[in-house]
Amino acid sequence: MNNNLALEKKYRKIITALSIIIPIAVAALFGVNLRDLGFNVEPLTFLPPIYASINGVTAVILIAAVIAIKKGNKKLHEQLNTFAIICSLAFLLMYIAYHMTSDSTKFGGEGAIKYVYFFILFTHIVLSIIVIPFVLLTFMRAKLGNFAQHKKIAKITFPIWLYVAVTGVIVYLMISPYYA
């Protein structure tokens, strides 16, 4: 077995594990409020506009990465996608920190807008889970130099990741009037 195939097999196991562990950990931590457990922590209520902005930045970076590769700038494309992964990780850490220190905000809209909000929120959450292995596989294939397979999966990864980033901003804008 050649070295890249062995590495891909090893990385696939790690990607599978992360794709399961991350959503489970986020779901578990989402239900933990440090103040309810007796910790004297201030609610991190300043975080939602920051992590929403990071989602917006991620969307712009993803578009810039596609433009870079279409212009043949592989190095910039790689740097932008690496930065997009870092932004997504920063978002995730801030999101968890906010929910571990603050009470959840209920959407206060009524009528049709309520259904629009919950549809966007639901698709955002589901696709944010689904995109994890896609992002990691796409990144791994590029790092291993398997550009044909990278390009093939990137055509699936990009629109899902972009949708998650954009809808993260939309969800924030829709719920922000109801923050306490």
DSSP string of 40-103, one letter each residue = -----TTHHHHHHHHHHHHHHHHHHHHHHHHTT-HHHHHHHHHHHHHHHHHHHHHHHHHHHHSP
Q: Phi first, then psi: what are they for 123, rounded to 5°?
A: -65, -35
Please give the DSSP secondary-structure letter assigned to residue 117.
Answer: H
pLDDT of 5 reads 81
d(CA 64, CA 61): 5
Superfamily grouping for domain 3-178:
Cytochrome c oxidase, subunit III, four-helix bundle (1.20.120.80)
d(CA 179, CA 172): 10
* Domain ranges, ordered by start, for the chain: 3-178
pLDDT of 3 reads 78
Going residue by residue through the chain (180 aa), what tens digit of pLDDT does each one get? 567 888 889 999 999 999 999 999 999 888 888 988 888 899 999 999 999 999 999 999 999 999 999 999 999 999 999 999 999 999 999 999 999 999 889 999 999 999 999 999 999 999 999 999 999 999 999 999 999 999 999 999 999 999 999 999 999 999 999 986
Say which amino acid occupies 66.
V
pLDDT of 31 reads 82
Kindly report each contact of residues 154-159 with a partner whose C-beta sits within 8 Å and lies 24 or more positions away, as own/partner.
157/131, 158/62, 158/66
